[in-house]
Amino acid sequence: MLNALATGFTRDAVVELSRQRGEPEWMLQKRLEAWEIYEKTPAPLGRRGDLGTLKALANFKFQQLNPYVPTEEGTLPTAIEQSLQEALVNERSGLIVQHNSSVVHTELVEELRQQGVILTDLATAVREHPELVQQHFMTNCVPVDASKYTALHAAFWSAGFFLYVPKEVEIENPVLAQVWLDAASAGIFSHTLIIAEEQSSVRFVQEYVSSVANGQPSLLSDVVEVYAKNEARVEFSNVQDLDQNTWNITNKNAIYDKDGSVTFVMADLGAKLSHATIGAGLHGNGSAGELVGVFFTDHDQRYSINTLSDHAALSTNAETLVKGVLTDESRVEFDGMIRVRAKAQQTASFLSAHGLLLSKKARAEFIPGLEIAANEVSASHGATSGQIDEEQLFYLMVRGIQRPEAERIVVQGFFEPVLQRIPLENLRIRLRRSIVRRMSGEYETEADTWVDAQERWEIEGVDEQAISLDGNPKDDEIQLSEY
């Protein structure tokens, strides 16, 4: 078994980590180059007047973390087994599990293995498939120098998942991956690399779960890189349900070739602080990207969510739809951008983000943006954030529904349009249960409880209109604007 490293991030720790893992020289050099970039790059502090999420992250005590906490492969702990059952992905093509800094379990149906599908931990892929990893690992999709935190990730990545889908292979049932963190004062670096060759298709569901005791904060730094080659289709769903002792820095991006298609489904429910960057690099003619995101924050959670639809080819399409609910003293900053480059004619791109506040102390800042350098474009963006509409609550309460239940119904109606955009039904059920549990403190076992509540009281028009801005949602709502 490999040994844990000493506390703190240093150049010597980078060399020792690579030596213990028996990595080739090219990977060691990539790690050292990344460390140099990390050392000379200042931590981003955000802009004046924002909600302070990036500044809080910059003040995080990284040097008190252990950058490598290996776990022995063997029988999965009971907590992980239970978490896999709650994922509701029973009919699956493969399963891969990371426990702290080690991948401890991998399985793939034999039929796919015979067709050339590769599902393994990334460390094994570095040794056995170096030509694929060296070409795609933190080169064009998520470059090492994208930020200070991606450089740190490149220097200290320790585990993660590698999925290769050969040409014309279609994987119908999803592949489930889970990262489980239970080590205190640990820096866990997980990297996911998915390569879908021409005319292939795959569904990948990834979950982040943690149970860190003793109040000692830990960090999960993850990077996801998806390459969709010509006419390939990838659905990537991510559920982040970390505990309040875990901080999360995530960077996800996809590179699209001609007519490639990638759908990102992001569900953020946990973590003390989450800094997420999600992109779509539409480099191939006719490529299409979609991002569907939901979040629910409470206590003093802080989220910073950044999205980018980067159109760099002809006839590309992208749509971003994000909705979230804030309670207690939580804070969420959303910054979404549509970028249309000069040669990206015949582009269609849309961005919509909405935040619903259930507490007077919660704060949200939603900033959509456009950068247009082409003239044959259809692009629109819009955002709303505000308190829950008291008139809608009153409408329910005069019919005998208590306020907590009325708030829950309005939240259901607010989330449902975006949940319907999620391709996997089991994932929709999982998210509905999680939202109900966050609102009521109870775990719902009936999958149809969510829908039954809406049908029973015939609630209509409680999606974006559930947001009240200065008491007048119709007049003050920020409307979609078209370029």
DSSP string covering 44-93, please? P---TTS-SHHHHHHTS-GGGSBS------SSPPHHHHHHHHHTT--S-S
Per-residue pLDDT of the chain (483 residues; tens, 9 = 90+): 567 677 889 999 999 999 999 999 999 999 999 999 999 999 999 888 899 999 999 999 999 999 999 887 776 778 788 777 777 677 899 999 999 999 999 999 999 999 999 999 999 999 999 999 999 999 999 999 999 999 999 999 999 999 999 999 999 999 999 999 999 999 999 999 999 999 999 999 999 999 988 778 999 999 999 999 999 999 999 999 999 999 999 999 999 999 999 999 999 999 999 999 999 999 999 999 999 999 999 999 999 999 999 999 999 999 999 999 999 999 999 999 999 999 999 999 999 999 999 999 999 999 999 999 999 999 999 999 999 888 989 998 998 888 888 888 899 889 988 998 888 888 888 888 888 888 765 544 444 455 444 444 444 445 556 666 554 444 444 444 444
**pLDDT value for 469:** 57
Residue 17: how many other CB atoms lie within 10 Å: 22
8 A C-beta contact, residue 241 and residue 209: yes
DSSP string computed for 326-371? E-TT-EEEEEEEEEE-TT--SEEEEEEEEEEE-STT-EEEEEEEEE
Please answer whether residues 169 and 112 qualify as being in contact, where contact means their C-beta atoms are separated by less than 8 angstroms: yes
Question: With left for phi above 0 and alpha for psi between -120 and 50, is residue 265 left, alpha or beta?
Answer: beta
How many of the other CB atoms lie within 10 Å of CB of 174?
A: 23
For 408, the token pair is 């829950």
Those residues with Cβ within 8 angstroms of residue 208's Cβ, 6 or more apart along the chain or in another chain: 178, 179, 181, 220, 222, 238, 239, 240, 241, 242, 248, 270
